[in-house]
Amino acid sequence: MDINMTLIGQSIAMLVFVWFCMKFIWPPIMTAIEERQKEIADGLAAAERGQQSLDKAKAESDEIVADARKQATQILDQAHARANEIVAEGKADGVKERERQLAAATAEVEQETNRAREELRGQVSAIAVASAEKILRREIDAKAHEDILSKLAAEL
Amino acid sequence: MAGESGHGAQTSGEYIAHHLQNLQVCKVDSEWVWNHCAGNPMAINVDSMFFSVILGLVFVFIFRGAAKKASAEKPGKMQAFVEIVIDFIDSSVKDTFHGKSSLIAPLALTIFVWVFLMNLMDLIPVDWLPMLGGAIGVPYLKVVPTTDVNITFGMSIAVFFLILFYSIKNKGIGGFIGELTLHPIAPPMKGVGLIAAPFIIAFNFILESVALLAKPLSLSLRLFGNMFAGELIFILIALLGVWQLPLHFGWAVFHVLIVTLQAFIFMMLTVVYLTLASEEH
């Protein structure tokens, strides 16, 4: 318990250790800590910047997608309109074609009818002549009545 | 247990006294003698100095090892631990001391870790190291340096001189003397009161000197008292035979708190005193 030279010894030891700590322990560790703090701060700032540019890029891409969607809708609308147009055109063409063919068919039928009628007329007259001939051969000379007969044939 | 401590038959009183005896060396008639140095002011407590320096070296090796390998990118586990301690000290110092000083923070670190390690010796069961010492022929061994008043006083006196140094450095000789003599009662500078001025100055000086000297005294005695009492209780518990086991455990757990707290208080008060010394008030 008595005070003795240990006191001085301890004081000297303490000053030596404090000096050593001040020179060789504190500065390098503090440097490392501060360096790391700076790096972390820089890293956080970089992350912040990255986040911002990501946000910007996202906004841009959203815009682009919205544009594309709008364009696509437009194109689709146009295509629909065009398709409707084409269908309408086709319909109109069909109607026209049908009318044309109908007209053509009608004309042909008429023509055919007329031709058949002509032929029929010819045949009827021929039959009439033939039957008249048969009748007259028995009764009259063909030669004598030929003018009457041909006149008849012309009238038919 | 006294009977089992390997020193033959002892009474409890002898056992305790033995545990509280430092291993001393001193020069008597130009010859070095061991353990007959009671009251000799030139004696050295070899055990206190030995453990104190060893623990100081432990501190230095651990922290220097971390400092040498310190890297900002990939801190090792040791570095992380050392950084936690340093960061803790640094923030404690920065909370109190606002000036710029390359000394105060390392000083606080050294004091905290060193005193902590010295206090921690208290947790080693009280008989182990003295028994080991007895086996190799060391008759006395007091393993906790901070239970030696010389050690705590040695540290607080170093702090005291730093206080004086900082006071004079930051306030000048005149400022320092003024601080000692012109507070707390300002002496009258003119008129009839001038007659009373020397008395007031003397009164101030006595008051302020006591306040100044009380700083290292209280600093060292606080640490010494706490650790000595703790050590004494460990010794008393060791006398109890088998019942010492739960008691020792309980007291040791409680003592972990005291060990850390006293180291922190010593460090913090040092920082506060140096802050007061370097700031005008």
> Residue A35: closest CA among chain B residues belongs to which residue?
B72
From the list B20, B39, B274, the residue with the least C-alpha distance to B156 is: B274
* pLDDT confidence of residue B2: 39
Structure tokens belonging to residue A83:
């398709």
User: Average of pLDDT values for B271-276?
Assistant: 92
Confidence band for B43, pLDDT divided at 50, 70 and 90 = confident
Q: CA B43 to CA B49: how far, in whole Å?
A: 12
pLDDT exceeds cutoff 80 at A139: no
* pLDDT confidence of residue B3: 40
| Per-residue pLDDT reduced to its tens digit, B59-92 | 999 999 888 888 877 888 888 899 899 999 999 9
pLDDT exceeds cutoff 90 at B206: yes
Question: How is residue B33 annotated by DSSP?
Answer: E
Q: Structural domain boundaries of chain A? A: 5-155
| Per-residue pLDDT reduced to its tens digit, A12-57 | 999 999 999 999 999 999 898 889 899 999 999 999 999 999 999 9
* pLDDT confidence of residue B162: 92
> Residue B161: closest CA among chain A residues belongs to which residue?
A11
Confidence band for B6, pLDDT divided at 50, 70 and 90 = very low
Are A6 and B44 inside 8 Å of each other by CB?
Answer: yes
B222 is catalytic: yes
Are B154 and A6 inside 8 Å of each other by CB?
Answer: yes
User: Average of pLDDT values for B187-196?
Assistant: 78
Write down the residue that tokens 């010394």 correspond to: B277
| Per-residue pLDDT reduced to its tens digit, A60-107 | 999 999 999 999 999 999 999 999 999 999 999 999 999 999 999 999
Q: Which of B42, B63, B89, B140 to mutate to test the interface with A (most CBs of A within 10 A)?
A: B63
B52 contact residues in A (CB cutoff 8 A): 10, 13
| Per-residue pLDDT reduced to its tens digit, B219-254 | 999 999 999 999 999 999 988 878 888 898 999 999
Q: Which residues of B97-113 are buried (b: 16+ CB within 10 A; e: fewer)?
A: beeeeebbbbbbbbbbb
Question: How is residue B24 annotated by DSSP?
Answer: E
Q: Which of B104, B107, B114 to mutate to test the interface with A (most CBs of A within 10 A)?
A: B107
My answer on whether omega of the bond before A27 falls inside 30° of 0, hence cis, is no
> Residue B156: closest CA among chain A residues belongs to which residue?
A11
The DSSP line for B100-128 is: --TTHHHHHHHHHHHHHHHHHGGGS-TTH
Are B154 and A2 inside 8 Å of each other by CB?
Answer: no
Q: Tally C-beta pairs within 8 A across A and B.
A: 135
* pLDDT confidence of residue B1: 39
B226 is catalytic: yes
B106 contact residues in A (CB cutoff 8 A): 18, 21-22, 25-26
Tell me which of B64, B218, B220, B278 is the catalytic residue. B218
